[in-house]
Structure formats: C-alpha cells, structure tokens
Structure 1
Amino acid sequence: MQDLLNNGYFWQKIDSLVLSTNVVISQKKGSHHPKYMNMVYPVDYGYLSDTDQIKVFKGSIKSSSIAAVMLVADILKRDLEVKLLWGCTEEEEIEILQFINQTDYQKGILVRRGNEMPDWALTD
C-alpha cells in the first residue's frame, strides 16, 4: 500500500499534460480577483488551454515538473477543483494556501509530490 501513496505515474501524467499544452495566464500576480476585490493573486494564475478545466498557479521558478496539486472545495460554486502548482517556491505555496483559504466559502489542501519513486515505477 505504501507504494501507492505517491504514485510516480500520476505525477508523470500531470507533467505530460502541462508540457504538452499552453498555459493561459488569466490573472497576473498582484491582480485582484474579478468578483472579490479583496483577493489578490500571489502568483500568476490561469488554465491549460486545451482543457479550460485544469487550473494552474504559476510561480517564479522555471520548472518542467509539477511540484504540488491543490484540492479546493468551494461551497459557493458547489464544486471541487484540482489546481496545479507549477514552479512555486515554498513561500509561494504558503501564499497560495493563504489566498485560497482566506474566505469561509472555499478551503484547500496541498498535496506535494514526493521525492521517492516506488520500485515498481522504475523502468529502464
């Protein structure tokens, strides 16, 4: 069961999605949320162009892999979303968590990519 907790193939598929699709930035770092002016984006925010369903927080680090995903429950939209954190520093991850969790209407948790690959996921 331990091997399934950080499935290397899961992260590989997410990396493939991001690297094979254009990321459209809809909200620049420092911009205000279109509906809630008190919410200021801590990093660039957008979506994968071929999907419009997969949201991305784009941090300041150049990276070819996704380091974390955020699961967000939103009671106003009656929705559960997965948001990718791409190229974010630890400080940016904390700022994103604070940004998402600042209202009573939505709450999010962060799932970080582990550093270890399970033995069964290693290939030649």
Structure 2
Amino acid sequence: MTSPGQVAKLKRNNYVVNRIKPDNEQIYYSIDAINDAINVGKQISFQYYDYTGLKKKVLKNKGEIYKLSPYKLLWCGDYYYVLGYSEKKSKVINFRVDRIASKPEILDKDIIPM
C-alpha cells in the first residue's frame, strides 16, 4: 500500500531482543539515518562521545569524525548498537547509537562489503 519508491525506505534493519524502546527521541533520528544508509549501501560519518566520572558528555578522540560502513542495527541490553566496518581499524566494530553526538551524515561513498 505504498509507492515503489517508498518500499525501500520501509525496510528496517534493526533487531529487538526482548526489550522496550527508549524514550530519547534523538536516537530515533540517528536510527532512521543509519537505516537509510544501510538500505542504500552508503557509509556514514559522525562524532562519538563518552561520559566523564561526573556524567558530563565529552567527545571522544578530541572530536574525531568516525566513518563507518553500517551493516545492522541491534537493540540489546537496553541500548541500540550499529554494527559496521571501520576502514581505520580494519575490522567490524560497534557503536552505541545513544552516544552518537548528532544525526549521522550519509556519505556518497559505498559501504565496504562484509
């Protein structure tokens, strides 16, 4: 019940394992961007942060821009994760979506296949 152009956008790439979804609305924008990148086979870029001992957000690696070939989204242990290939580390890694600083940017570069 949708147009052929919209069918690809309806494909979801996240898997939920016996959990409820979070209330943080910013996560949904990040998830949608990551899902769109997975569906079109494009890499994403983003900044990632961590928390100090005083629960203050601090960008990791002095605000480095991370680039990732996203493969899947996973909901596990009360958190969403994006799994993908990092050229810099030359391996498949994961990031917690709630720690991505803002909505990831979809790049023009194709993903690196698994």
TM-score (norm 2): 0.28
Of the two structures, which has the highest relative contact order with CA contacts closer than 8 Å and spacing of 6 or more? 2
Greater per-residue strand proportion: 2
* Structure whose CA Rg is larger: 1
